[in-house]
Amino acid sequence: MQTLVNGEPIASEWIEEEFSQIKSWHEQRSQLSCCERDDEFRAQARDNVIGRVLLNQAAEKEIPDPTSEQIQAAVKQLHKDYGGEEAFLATMGLNEGQKSFVDRQVVANLKADQLIANFSKDLQHPEEDTLLAYYREHSEPYTSESRVRALHIFKSLRQSEDKDQLFKECCKVRERLGSGEDFETIAREFSDKPAEEIDLGFFKRGELMDEFEFVAFSMQVGEVSPVFSSYHGFHLAKVLEIEPPVITPFEEVREAVLEAWMQEQRTLRIQEYIQALKSKAEIKDIEEEIESEPPKV
């Protein structure tokens, strides 16, 4: 199955590549596999690629061709970004005889970039109250991550031939801690880690092993964990301090907030423009695969 946009074919691999990027982004955000949402992501990928093709087609009609100097400068920048002309051609899977293809792609990209830039020409800065409201509604990028400071006792499975016995020993240590004995003192006596690795200091999510972070970030200050396991062995943890997330004051991030607001407005304008293009476009699916060039943006 292949999609045609105003007669221009879209290769199925473009949609699959876009699908992979969308799925990867969602999985990283949720730290979960999203297989049950594959149909949703694939539909979004198809929609995104169609939108880019329509923008390219509109740019081809509406934007004048760039000058030879602009084309040469853009090609030169591409070569620089990839570490030289040879490296660029190798990375793209091209040869010397396909330089004209590169030039065509560069022209298309320059025209599409200019079309997109046109959406910002008359975009005015918002009132301060509007910007402040936007900052409050989109505070996550300006908020520090929560951090935990914890103590750690570790027993390696490599140091014991009897896993069950080692677990029982750890449970006895947990009982001692529960009765009020000092965590650091017991850690120096029992842990397989050196003394300087008992106090882990402050850490945020993503800096330590998943098993340890899952437990540590679910605990309260002063709480001692149950014995829990990882691939490496058994663990006990005690949380000493918790640093809650802190939102950076508006005054310190005002310029970043302004740029984010402007970018959102540009994106909304582009999306409205693409929707208008879709309403007039002929988009259909066919069974036969037609050879197509890569998308230009």
Percentage with pLDDT > 70 across the chain: 95
* Per-residue pLDDT band at 297 (split at 50, 70, 90): very low
Distance CA 35, CA 38 (A): 5
What is residue 89's predicted lDDT score, i.e. its pLDDT?
87
pLDDT tier at 1, thresholds 50, 70, 90: confident
pLDDT of residue 26: 81
CATH topology of domain 2-123+281-286: Triger factor/SurA peptide-binding fold (1.10.4030)
Q: Evaluate if residue 290 carries a pLDDT over 70.
A: no
State the chain's mean pLDDT as an integer.
90
What would be the CATH architecture of the domain defined by 144-243? Answer: Roll (3.10)
- For the chain, where do the domains classified as CATH 3.10.50.40 start and end? 144-243
pLDDT of residue 237: 97
What pLDDT shows up at residue 252? 97
Give the integer Cα–Cα distance in Å for 148 and 32: 23
Confidence band of 132 (pLDDT split at 50, 70, 90): very high
What sign for the dihedral angle of Cα 49, 52, 58, 63? negative
80 pLDDT band (50/70/90 cuts)? very high
Mean pLDDT of 4-9: 92
Residues of the chain with CATH 1.10.4030: 2-123+281-286
Structure pTM? 0.67
The CA-based angle 117-119-121, given to 5 degrees, is 80
